Amino acid sequence: MIGKIFKNGILASVALAALASTAEAGGYSRGEADTDILFESGDFIFRAGATYVSPRRTFKTTGAGGAANNDGVYTNDYWVPSVAAKLTVSENFACALTYTQPFGADATYGPQARAAMVGLGKYSDKGFETNEYGATCDVKFDAGPGKFHFLGGVFLQDFTYDATNEGSGALPAGKFHLRDDGAFGYRIGAAYEITEYALRISLMYRSQVKHEADEGYYDFTPPLSNLPATGYGTLPQSLKLSVQTGVAPGWLVYGSVKWTDWSVLDALNYKIGTNPAQKDVYNWKDGWTIQAGVAHVFNEKLTGTVNLTWDSGVSTGADIHGDTITLGAGILAKVGPGDLRFGGGISRMASGSQSTLKHATFDATGGGGWAYGVTGSYKIAF
C-alpha cells in the first residue's frame, strides 16, 4: 500500500516544508509559521531551522530623465528563523507553539537613487522587521476512511521600522525609528487526510494585523534634539489551499494556492514632530502564489523533492515588485536521533518600473534580477 511507503509522515513532511520559503517571496512576505508540524507523528516534536535569502534587485534607470543607474544591488540579504514545538494532549487533540518572521524588507540605496528622491528626505537605507509568536491547536476526529482536522489559534506580531536620512529640506540628517511591541491576530483552518494514500487537503486563513507605533522618534545628528514620531499601517490577511497525495509507491505530488491581501497595505503612514504627515506609498494589488511539486522516497533514510513556484507581482507603479518564478529542491535525511531537512531555491525576478506620478519617491526602472535561498532545519520527535 502507498501508505506504508510514507511511514511516519516523512514524505509528506519533506514535500510540503522542505523549502521554508521561496528564494524571493511576493510583496514583503518572508516566513510562514510551521503549523504543518501538527500533522506529524509523535507525542512531542521539536523543529528549528532558518532560511537565508539573497535577493539581487537592481535599478536600471533612476530620475525623471531616465539616467542609467550604476548603484548595484539595493536589496539586502536576510535570515528567516523558524521554531516549532508540538505537544500531543490526547489522541484527538494537539497544540503547537511557533515562531517566525512573517514579513520584512531591507534596502540600501546608492548615491544615484538618493539623488533622484523627492520629498522630506533622501534615505540611504530603509527596512522593517516583524516577529510572530503563535499558538495553534488541532482537533481531529474520524470521518469516513480518514480524519477531519479543525485548526485554530492566535499569534502576537511585533513591528519595527528603521530608516537613515542623509538630510534634505525640512529634515536634517538623522535616524528614523518606529516600533509596535505587538498586535494580535488569529489563524483558523481545516484539513482532511487519508493516511493510507498520503492524501491531505487543507485550507488555512491568517488574519491581517494593524500596527500602531506611538513611541517612535527621529534621532537628529547632535547637537539637535530628537523629535517624537508616530506611524501606522496594516499587514495583510491570507488564505492558503494545500493539496498532496500519493500517486505510486514512494511517489507523492503536491501543490498549493495562496492569496494575500496586499492591497490593504496602501501605505505606511507616519508623522515626525510638527512636520506634515508623510507616507511611504505602496498601493499594491492582491498577490497570488502557486506552487506545484513532486517528492520521492529513495530509501528509509533519504527523501527528496523538487517544486516550481510562481508569485504574481503586486506593484501598480509605486515600486518595481514584479512577478517571480522559483525553482526549489530539498532533501530529508535521517541523521542521528532526528530528521535533517535541507533545501535551496533560485528565483527569476521580472523587471518593472515606478513613477512619482504613481506616488513613488523617485522615478526608476528595474532590470529584473535573480534571488537565491537556502534553508535547513532539524526535527526531534518523541
In three state form, how does the secondary structure of 253-306 look?
EEEEEEEECHHHCCEEEEEECCCCCEEEECCCCCEEEEEEEEEEEEECCEEEEE
What grid cell was written down for 288? 497570488
pLDDT for 275 equals 86
DSSP 17-84: HSSSS-SS-STTB-----GGGGGSSSSEEEEEEEEEEEE--BEEEETTTTEE----B-BPPEEEEEEE
Q: Where are the domains of the chain?
A: 2-381
* Rounded percentage of the chain residues whose pLDDT exceeds 70: 93
Which run of H or E residues covers position 114? Answer: helix 111-116
Q: What is the C-alpha separation between 299 and 287, in angstroms, rounded?
A: 38
What grid cell was written down for 263? 492591497
Q: Which residue type occupies 153?
A: G
pLDDT for 322 equals 86
Q: Which residue has the higher pLDDT, 230 or 352?
A: 230
Is residue 84 a contact partner of residue 47, using CB atoms and an 8 Å limit? yes
Q: Which of 10-24, 26-40, 229-243, 342-356 has the lowest mean pLDDT?
A: 10-24
Is residue 362 a contact partner of residue 329, using CB atoms and an 8 Å limit? no
- Summarised one tens digit per residue, pLDDT across range 49-84 is 999 999 999 999 999 889 999 999 999 999 999 999
pLDDT for 128 equals 95
The answer to whether the predicted template modeling score (pTM) of the entire model surpasses 0.85 is yes
By the 10 Å C-beta count (0-12 exposed, 13-18 middle, 19+ buried), 88 is classed as: middle
pLDDT for 9 equals 46
What grid cell was written down for 187? 489563524
Convert 183-221 to b/e letters by CB count within 10 Å (16 or more is b).
bebebebebbbbbebbbbebebbbbebebebeebbbebe
What grid cell was written down for 82? 523558524
Q: Which residue has the higher pLDDT, 380 or 1?
A: 380
Query: Whose CA is closest to 77, among 50, 104, 106, 101?
Result: 106
Is residue 56 a contact partner of residue 71, using CB atoms and an 8 Å limit? no
Is residue 192 a contact partner of residue 173, using CB atoms and an 8 Å limit? no
State the average pLDDT for the chain: 90
HEC readout, 124-176: EEEEEEEEEEEEEEEEEEEECCEEEEEEEEEEEEEEEEEEEECCECCECCEEE
Residue 90, C-beta contacts closer than 8 angstroms, at least 6 positions apart: none
Confidence of residue 16 (pLDDT cuts 50, 70, 90): very low
What grid cell was written down for 114? 538618493
- Summarised one tens digit per residue, pLDDT across range 143-192 is 999 999 999 999 999 999 999 998 765 678 899 999 999 999 999 999 99
pLDDT for 20 equals 39
Q: 2-381 domain in CATH 2.40.160.60?
A: yes
Q: Is the pLDDT of residue 15 over 50?
A: no
**First vs last Cα of the chain: how many Å apart?**
26
- Give the residue-averaged pLDDT of 127-132: 96
Residue 155, C-beta contacts closer than 8 angstroms, at least 6 positions apart: 33, 98, 132, 133, 134, 135, 184, 185, 186, 187
pLDDT for 221 equals 75
Confidence of residue 222 (pLDDT cuts 50, 70, 90): confident
Q: Which residue has the higher pLDDT, 171 or 295?
A: 295
Q: Which residue has the cell 514579513?
A: 103
By the 10 Å C-beta count (0-12 exposed, 13-18 middle, 19+ buried), 68 is classed as: exposed
- Give the residue-averaged pLDDT of 24-34: 86
Which run of H or E residues covers position 224? Answer: none
Is residue 273 a contact partner of residue 227, using CB atoms and an 8 Å limit? yes
Q: Write phi, then psi, for 269 (nearest 5 degrees).
A: -95, 135
Q: Is the pLDDT of residue 325 over 60?
A: yes
pLDDT for 12 equals 47
